[in-house]
A and B are shown apart, each in its own frame.
Chain A
Amino acid sequence: MFTAMLGEAWHAMGANRLRTFLTMLGMVIGVSAVVLMMAIGQGAEAAVKRSISAMGSNLFVILSGPPTSGGARSATGNAPSLNVKDANAISDLDGVVGVAPVTMGKAQIVFGSNNWNTDIIGTTPSYLEIRGWNLSDGYAFSESDIRSATRVALVGKTIVQNIFGDNIDPVGKTIRIKQSPFVILGVLDSKGQTLDGRDQDDTIIVPLTTAQRKLFGNQLPGSVRQIIVQAESDNTMPMVEEGLNSLLNQRHNIREGSDSDFYVRNLTAIANSAAETTRTMSLLLGAIASVSLLVGGIGIMNIMLVSVTERTREIGIRMAIGARQRDILLQFLLEAIVISIVGCLIGIAIGVGGAIMVNIITKAEIIISANSVAIAFGVAASIGVFFGFYPARKAAMLNPIEALRYQ
């Protein structure tokens, strides 16, 4: 009985192919939009999550210069007001588990005939710990390298690819940074992109003192651009933030009410709000896509209503030969469901294909989860039932004799 009805639904759809196709198109577009948007949204979320976990946890960064209302501004850190002694003092604060003074800049590096312009970070070994950054090869520099400002370097994966290629083991090789030779001690693990899309693997890390004295000759000896501070836990972060501010205000002789010459940023909070933003974005994208699904559903309802009117006589005949109300209801409901499910399957295929295309063209991360496909399928099927029900009921409630007389 059920298979016979399914066959009839299929038959009825085939009877008016163009119309069935156009009705289905609404569903196809809706479902493919939902699948595509979910793939992009979930991909973006995953990328953000990954860069957050790559950043390290419970971090503050202290920047030189006055705070600005818009957060970071390009001048921030330009007039160095922080120094290594500040960093040493911070490490004695309660709740602080790691401190890394950082100075940085751009520099040209050369190996053999290969050139590359990259970011140089001068810092202490604790930087790697705070950032949870491991080495994939070789070993890190130590405190004694800091003391004697040796010319050693740790290089990121992007550097390795661009100036060494696949066949040369960079560990032990000498590269030139701003003309001076540096021995490569180790290769950094890949960290991927930052939240703002910078390639963190396009980085060279050298001892802080080496960077200060030999690469970026400083106006004030011992000054640093930033100090990165790791708090013990999420809970101690407010306390540490307060401690940092009062300690540095005191050390820099800043009186209450006047502008300070440094700025403490809670990196973890910024990262969390970025994660929140992408989540909201992907929800929004999904919601917009769902609207097209709704429109597709209304299209199905519209066509089913037309179909019921057109086939009034057929309904009358079926009733006259013994169809019960629920047989008629089921017949039209099945038709709506078959249209929406077939449309949904095509839509899933197009959505998945589109997501793969987006990935290929823009290199943006996408995630096609079984979950999102299942949700799209479930929603589409329910739309078929929901929007198919009213026309089907209308058909089932027809008076047999009036339906038979209908011309």
Chain B
Amino acid sequence: MQKSVIEVSSLYKDYQTAAGPFPVLKDVNLHIENGDYVAIMGPSGSGKSTFMNILGCLDKPSKGQYVLDGHPVANMEQNAVAQVRNKTIGFVFQGFNLLARSSLLDNVALPLVYAGVDKAERHARAKLLLEKVGLANYLNSRPNQISGGQQQRVAIARALVNKPSLILADEPTGNLDSVTSEEIMTLFSELNQEGITIVLVTHETDIAEHASRQVRFLDGRIVQDTRTREIGTSNTSSKSIAIPISEAI
């Protein structure tokens, strides 16, 4: 039995609104094991993003326990949480969230700045990852000079640069066409093959099928949890990356 990266038990989240507390997550329980590939699905407003933000330590639950890698997040002080976001977790957002004024290289290298890595190594690692996601020719471009699919690759490279054990992706293909989405999903499958735990939110069933496990949210509760593949056996339909990413980083 593999160790759990994520252990969520009796998790509640209320948003404070003018009309009083508004419950969004109601008694969510979920364990995600190391190396798993989980797709979170559910209708709009069911609390998926809220849940992901809590998993990513960007937001705090109102009630309940969240243990990440064996450490209860509630007990962590601010700097420790920042360090978790920096080293343990890699984020991929629907809107890419790249820094518009910085080059792709600087964007990918940014987490290493906060990790205290020196400049030469920052650039070397960022360059290698951009090469792995197929953007070797765009190191000095700005995010607004490349396509959405390419921007999402940059965001993935940035998420990977500090060798995280967990990737959290909230609708990573939400802004992309189906062909580009396929490419991004292939990249995720390969990362999962290399042992990185992935949790992604999607509305589309064919995207969710890349994952080994599908969790369905409805109105702030988990209503369905199906495993379609064993951990570490996600399908890599096409081998686009010759060298495993874990070797690159």
> Are A320 and B58 in touch, CB under 8 angstroms?
yes
Asked whether B110 lies within 8 Å of A321 as measured between CB atoms, the reply is: yes
The reply to whether the CB of A379 lies closer than 8 angstroms to some CB of chain B is no
- Judge if A270 is at the interface, Cβ distance under 8 Å: no
Q: Contact at A322–B53, with CB atoms within 8 Å?
A: no
Residues of chain A lying within 8 A (CB to CB) of residue B225: none
Asked if residues B111 and A322 are in contact (CB atoms below 8 Å), the reply is yes
> Among the listed stretches B25-33, B78-86, B207-215, B216-224, which one makes contact with chain A, having 4 or more residues with CB under 8 Å of it?
B78-86
Contact partner of B97 (CB less than 8 A), chosen from A1, A11, A317, is A317
Please indicate the chain A residues that have their CB under 8 angstroms from the CB of B241 in the complex: none
* Cα–Cα distance between A324 and B114 once the two chains are bound (Å): 8
| Contact A322 B115, beta carbon cutoff 8 Å | yes
Select B87's contact among A11, A314, A322, beta carbons within 8 Å: A322
B116: Cβ under 8 A from any A Cβ: yes
Question: Which one of A1, A12, A321 contacts B91 once the chains associate, using CB atoms below 8 Å?
Answer: A321
0 or 1 for each of B81-125: is its CB under 8 Å from A? (1 = yes)? 011011100010100011101100000001101111001001000
CA distance A361 to B162 in the complex (A): 63
Cβ of B158 under 8 Å from chain A:
yes
A84 within 8 Å of B by Cβ?
no
- A1 and B116 in contact, given A320-B97, A321-B111, A324-B78 (Cβ under 8 angstroms): yes
Return chain A residues, CB-CB under 8 Å to B113: 1, 4-5
* A401 pairs with B53, CB closer than 8 A: yes
The interface bits of chain A over 1-44 (1 if a CB of B lies within 8 angstroms of the residue's CB, else 0) are 10111000001100100000000000000000000000000000
- Known contacts A15-B101, A327-B114; A322 and B59 CB within 8 A of each other: no
Give how many A-B residue pairs fall within 8 Å (CB-CB).
Answer: 65
A288 interfacial by beta-carbon distance below 8 Å: no
Number of interface residues, chain B, beta carbon within 8 A = 28
* A12–B162 alpha-carbon span in the complex (Å): 25
Q: Fill in one digit per residue for A289-331: 1 if any B CB lies within 8 Å of its CB, else 0.
A: 0000000000000000000000001101111111111110000
Instruction: Contacts A323-B82, A404-B58 given; indicate if A317 touches B111 (C-beta within 8 A).
Output: no
Question: In the complex, A10→B58 CA distance in Å?
Answer: 29
The answer to whether B172 has its CB under 8 Å from any CB of chain A is no
Closest to B116 in A: A1
B56 contacts chain A at the CB level, 8 A cutoff: yes
Contact of A322 among B93, B101, B162 (CB under 8 A): B162
Number of interface residues, chain A, beta carbon within 8 A? 24
Contact of A243 with B by CB under 8 A: no
Contact A320 B114 (CB under 8 A): no
A66: Cβ under 8 A from any B Cβ: no
Q: Which residues of B contact A192 (CB under 8 A)?
A: none
Q: Is the CB of B91 within 8 A of A320?
A: yes
Contact status of A321 and B114, CB under 8 A, knowing A400-B58, A401-B58, A401-B59: yes
Q: Select A404's contact among B82, B83, B97, B114, beta carbons within 8 Å.
A: B97
In whole Å, how far is A125's beta carbon from the nearest beta carbon of chain B? 79
Q: Complex formed: what's the CA distance from A324 to B111 in Å?
A: 11
Decide if A4 touches B99 in the complex (CB within 8 Å): no
Q: A1-B113, A400-B58, A401-B58 are in contact. Are A319 and B82 (CB under 8 A)?
A: yes
Residue of A nearest to B159 (CB): A321
Can you name the residue of chain A whose Cβ is closest to the Cβ of B79?
Answer: A324
B85 contact from A3, A321, A325, Cβ within 8 A = A321
- List the B residue with the shortest CB-CB distance to A324: B82
Contact B83 A322 (CB under 8 A): yes
A94 to B97 alpha-carbon distance, docked (Å): 91
Nearest Cβ distance between residue B161 and chain A, in whole angstroms? 9
In this complex, what residue of A is CB-closest to B50? A401
Interface centre among B78, B82, B115 (most CB of A within 10 A): B82
Bound CA–CA A311/B133 (angstroms) = 28
Task: Report whether A320 and B119 are in contact in the complex, using a CB–CB cutoff of 8 Å.
Answer: no
Asked if A320 and B78 make an inter-chain contact with CB atoms under 8 angstroms apart, the answer reads no
In the complex, what residues of A have CB within 8 A of residue B83's CB? 322, 324
Q: In the assembly, what is the distance between CA of A259 and CA of B86, in Å?
A: 92
Selected A-B contacts with CB under 8 Å, 7 pairs: A1-B113, A320-B58, A321-B85, A322-B86, A322-B111, A404-B93, A404-B97
**10 further A-B pairs in the complex, CB-CB below 8 A; given A320-B97, A327-B82:** A317-B98, A318-B114, A319-B82, A319-B85, A320-B91, A321-B86, A322-B85, A324-B79, A325-B82, A400-B59
- Contacts from B to A (Cβ < 8 Å): 53, 56, 58-59, 78-79, 82-83, 85-87, 91, 93, 97-99, 101-102, 110-111, 113-116, 119, 122, 158, 162
Pairs of residues from A and B, 4 with the lowest C-beta to C-beta distance, nearest first: A322-B86, A324-B82, A322-B114, A321-B111
